[in-house]
Structure 1
Amino acid sequence: MSSADDDQASVIDELRKAIAVRDDFIAIAAHELRNPMTPIAGQVELLVSRARREQASPALVAGLERLEQAIDHYLRRASVLLEVSRLNAGQVRLEPSTFDMAELVALTTRNYLVLADRAGSALQCHVEPSVVGTWDRLSSEQVLDNLLSNAIRYGAGKPIQVELSQVPDGIVLKVRDEGIGIPVAAQARIFDRFERAGRERTSGGFGVGLWLVRQLVEAQGGKIQVRSRPSEGATFIVRLPRDITRQPSAEHP
């Protein structure tokens, strides 16, 4: 091996070490930033419940609800950082369990009703009854969380549709908005890391949400695609097998 090859190998090794240090720091930072907020979120939840139960002034209840949502948003962003660092390190392992995906989708969608309403969007959910299968529950919830957040953020205050249906080889989840859409040329890279594909002027964020969604979907042996045109909204389509434990790509104990 020549001296130039040695130098190149040394540089590559140093870069790998630097990336590992970065990912470790992100994981530690996300963990430390998220953990103290968990008990705070619990206390705020209790205050909201008490304010409602004791019929406190509407202004006070609304203020506490906004605080609760802000904390939830903070926790979700910290969770995204933690999941990204874990994926980079290959440390995320699925925990398959059998549950009703229809119930999970309906519950998760209901959690976004207030946020959608404040954005001016009517949020509707259409699910087939009793969609039972084996998936990773947390990953499935994170996928829908990210897709709903995007739909509300970029939906321009227009209606948003969530649909869950069964097909012979699994299930299909669709999240459709009627907002600003995604340029056709950008759709090939919309699931890349740090990419917002032409939407960066409308919102902040890490640009890793859809990358994380793709990683979690593919880890369960599924696929995700987007159909969109500028100013005509976007539809994200997730296809998952009925039982991820039968998929060779599913990483589970």
Structure 2
Amino acid sequence: MNRDEKKKINYDIDIPECTLDGYIDEISYHIIINNLVKNIIEHANAENVEVKVIGEEDRIIFEFSDDGIGIEPDLKERIFEKFYKGSGSRGCTGSGLGLSIVRLLVEKQNGEVSLDTQRNKGTAFKITFPRIR
């Protein structure tokens, strides 16, 4: 499919009304959500995208998953490098900074980002922020 063609993507979004206070600042929250969802739309070739936010007493967890093409195992760390654009990025207008910004913002606030992926089955990003006491 040509990248210029519109593709239907089904979204399942589960973000409860929980406060971000004590976990992450609101600006970083919006940048992280925007960059990860944009990355999935542009690169995953997914039909279904799921976004969840899970608030726990001592941490908050963001989960982003898709049923797309997955990521090659040897690229799991490389996709977080500044200006890295994978071979599937041809025709995309991105700068290659989106995921590096996500990792920078997460680590700056003592959070962790992990990635689980399987070729042709999809990818799941999990971001965890501890509660700041």
Q: TM-score range by the shorter chain?
A: 0.7 to 0.9
Question: Is contact 1:119-1:157 (8 Å) kept?
Answer: no
What residue is the counterpart of 1:123 in the other structure? 11
The one-letter amino acid paired with 1:120 is K
Bigger helix fraction: 1
Deviation at 1:198, TM superposition (A): 4.0
Relative distance call for 1:207 and 1:187 in structure 2 (3 A) is same
1:226, CA displacement in angstroms?
A: 1.2
Letter in 1 for 2:122: G
TM-score, scaled to structure 1: 0.46
Cα offset, 1:177, TM superposition: 1.1
Paired position in structure 1 for 2:35? 146
Q: String of CA shifts for 1:59-87, please: whole Å, max 9, x gaps.
A: xxxxxxxxxxxxxxxxxxxxxxxxxxxxx
Q: CA deviation at 1:196?
A: 2.8
Larger strand fraction of residues:
2
Match of 1:178 among 41, 45, 67: 67
1:165 alignment counterpart: 54
Describe the superposition over 1:140-182 as per-residue Cα deviations: whole angstroms up to 9, x where unpaired. Answer: 1100000011111123240100011123431110111111211
CA 1:227–1:184 in 2, change beyond 3 Å: closer, same or farther? same
**TM-score, normalized by length of structure 2?**
0.84
Structure 2: tracts of 5 or more residues without a match: 1-5
CA separation of 1:140 and 1:132: change in aligned 2, threshold 3 A: closer
Q: C-alpha separation between the residues in 2 aligned to 1:225 and 1:205?
A: 22
Partner of 2:83: 194
Q: 1:161 to 1:222 in 2, by over 3 A?
A: same
Greater relative contact order structure (CA < 8 Å, 6+ sep): 2
Taking structure 1 as reference, are residues 161 and 178 closer, same or farther at Cα in structure 2, changes over 3 Å only? same
1:214 paired to 2:103: yes
Give 3-state SS (helix, strand or coil) of 1:133's partner: coil
Gaps of 5+ in 1: 1-117, 247-253
Q: What is the aligned-residue RMSD (CA, Å)? A: 1.9
| Structure index of larger Rg | 1
Letter in 2 for 1:153: E
Output the amino acid matched with 1:218.
Answer: E
Q: Do the aligned partners of 1:180 and 1:233 also contact (CA within 8 Å) in 2? A: yes
Report the AA paired with residue 210 of structure 1: L
* 1:180/1:230 contact within 8 Å kept: yes
C-alpha contact 2:46 2:69 (8 A) present in aligned 1: no
